[in-house]
Structure 1
Amino acid sequence: MSDANEFIANLLMARLSHFAVGLAEALEKLPLPIALPRGEHINLVGEFRPAVARAYELVEDQPMPEDKKGEFIAVILFWLAASDLVIAYVHSGEDYRADAAILNIGFGENELADLLSWLSDQE
């Protein structure tokens, strides 16, 4: 991997990690809290990603409005898709994968901000 690709991969992982923190916070605020691995040294691929995939299945059982469940599912899918794209970028170095990862992170973070606001209103 070139220095430029390594730099981009590190930026992507930082953005994905930031998104992960917000996602974990939101899932813990659900009526039936879903805890994801947390901490400074969590492996996003080996530890966090499988937990997010499991959360995708669990959100459906939350006692909350259907539209909000759909929004949570969308945020989770944005995160999972972004993680797939980051992993693919690391292996291929193809710019479109980095761009698509950033796109998924951006859409996911925007939707997540709305959900965090809604959850705050529910407290």
Structure 2
Amino acid sequence: MADSEDQAMKTLARHLSQAYTVLATLCLNLPVPVTLPTGAVSNVETVPAVRRIMDITEDQPMPEEQQALLFAACSFWLGGLDIYGLLIRDFHTARAHSAAANLIMCDDTMHDLIVWLADNQK
């Protein structure tokens, strides 16, 4: 891989990790808290956990709009991770931008949900 490709991969990996950390913290602050694996975890643990959040989103006692934000954040994060996996095998700049776009959307949806949660704390 070229240096620019290596740097793009490192940046995406860092962004995936940071977004997951925010998601895990967000989930601890849901009306019904959910604990995601943290620390030195791999995709073997994180992917099923994030998928499980998507499965139980409707069980959270929040308005439908906030449930949709949680579901979307998980979906965008998983999409970013999937694209990252493709990049490992076959790097292409457009694909790297697509992974980054997924992570930006993940960040934006999590931000909106975090604001709602902060405004609605008991």
Same fold judged by TM-score > 0.5? yes
Distance 1:7 1:76 in 2: 25
Q: Is 1:116 matched up with 2:114?
A: yes
Q: Secondary structure at the match of 1:38?
A: coil
Distance 2:10 2:44 in 1: 17
Q: Is 1:99 matched up with 2:97?
A: yes
Distance 1:85 1:14 in 2: 14
Q: Is 1:36 matched up with 2:36?
A: yes
What residue number does 1:89 align with? 87
Aligned CA RMSD, in angstroms, stands at: 1.3
Q: Percent identity?
A: 32
Structure 2 gap ranges (5+): none
What residue number does 1:60 align with? 58
Structure 1 gap ranges (5+): none
Q: Is 1:21 matched up with 2:39?
A: no
Q: Secondary structure at the match of 1:5?
A: helix
Distance 1:106 1:85 in 2: 14
Distance 1:79 1:60 in 2: 18
Structure 2 letter corresponding to 1:106: I
Structure 1 letter corresponding to 2:104: G
Give the superposition deviation at 1:3. 3.9
Give the superposition deviation at 1:116. 0.7
Distance 1:83 1:50 in 2: 13
Give the superposition deviation at 1:52. 0.4
Distance 1:46 1:2 in 2: 28
Distance 2:24 2:82 in 1: 18
Alignment: residue pair count: 121
